[in-house]
Chains A and B, each alone.
Chain A
């Protein structure tokens, strides 16, 4: 993971490098062999991450790419700029919320179905979701 650092923090680095560094960070954090960590692996469901593991990963990614990722941004990755009330009235994600999720997290589309609750969103996060956050940050987009 550390030998990828120089390339990864170079904004001109190819996209694959970001994906590969994020995979490596996640594999190391969760103590999983790299070949078990795929871009479409869901961190919680497939890789057994707990919410504290996600925080560990966020801290590693921040250091690796010299970026900052707030909790609000992680939530926005999933729900865009919809209000809580539009997105998940009473905690249950609305039809519009589900549609927004599928659009923003196509990598997790197959897990996005009626009945999903707002607090379960983190369970949708895949390796690709984290890589996308890094790309967004490095392109100066608000993620």
Chain B
């Protein structure tokens, strides 16, 4: 347990988590990956649905196939963008699609599924119009829950001394990745997490200061 007096140190530790994109060849032991999944499933979820699954890919040929599928799509869109007038702005974005995957020693593909909106059904059962109420589906609660799980997974990876990068880039090869890993409806991948032991330290990208992201309501004079 973390003593509350250590909370500032805990914050500093959280702030030291980085998205890692370059890894050594050291494999990540299965037991460590299992702990990441244990951490993931400790996350909260709407009505405790636990609307998540995880494909944990250690097999080298399969990892290569995934990374190659993403690279092929990234090349395809890069060629399209090169024909337009924003090729220069696109710059090195293309590399962020597949590079972390290409040298990761493990890849985890988180998945979520949505469920019927329970509260909406309850409202309808009483003769109400669910459309009059914003319910869990209005915040894609199952997707949110799965993202919370991914964040706890990233936090555990940080504790294990692993580097990780949760990536939206692999979505460009979604169909091929889902086929390769047998991910079928209603499940849908939520990006992919590249994992491995970090080869280099990365600098911290700046954060917007809290006064730009938090609105405080501390007295009632605004009413």
Contacts and interface: CB of A to CB of B under 8 A. Distances in A.
Nearest to A72: B88
A71 interface: yes
B212 A68 contact: no
B83 interface: no
A70 B212 contact: no
A68 B174 CA distance: 31
Query: Contact size class for B?
Result: under 10
Interface string B87-99: 0110000000000
Contact of A71 (B88, B208, B212): B88
Contacts of B222: none
A53 to B, nearest CB: 11
B85 interface: yes
Contacts of A91: none
A71 to B, nearest CB: 5
Nearest to A73: B85
A120 to B, nearest CB: 15
Interface string B52-86: 00000000000000000000000000000000011
Contact of B212 (A48, A55, A69): A48
Nearest to A75: B88
B208 to A, nearest CB: 8
Contacts of B212: 48
Query: Contact size class for A?
Result: under 10
B210 to A, nearest CB: 13
Interface in A82-110: none
A70 B85 CA distance: 6
A70 B86 CA distance: 6
Interface string A34-53: 00000000000000100000
Contacts of A48: 208, 212
A68 B88 CA distance: 13
B85 A68 contact: yes
Contacts of B208: 48
A72 B87 CA distance: 11
A55 B90 CA distance: 10
Contacts of A72: 88
A70 B88 CA distance: 8
Interface string B195-223: 00000000000001000100000000000
Contacts of A68: 85
Nearest to A71: B88
A48 B209 CA distance: 11
Interface in A50-83: 55, 68-72
A121 to B, nearest CB: 15
Contacts of A55: 89
Q: By CB atoms of chain B within 10 A, which of A48, A69, A71 has the most?
A: A71
A55 B208 CA distance: 18
6 contacts: A48-B208, A70-B85, A70-B86, A70-B88, A71-B86, A72-B88
The 5 closest A-B pairs by CB, nearest first: A71-B88, A70-B85, A68-B85, A71-B89, A48-B212
Interface of A: 48, 55, 68-72
Given A48-B212, A70-B85, A72-B88, 9 more contacts: A48-B208, A55-B89, A68-B85, A69-B85, A70-B86, A70-B88, A71-B86, A71-B88, A71-B89
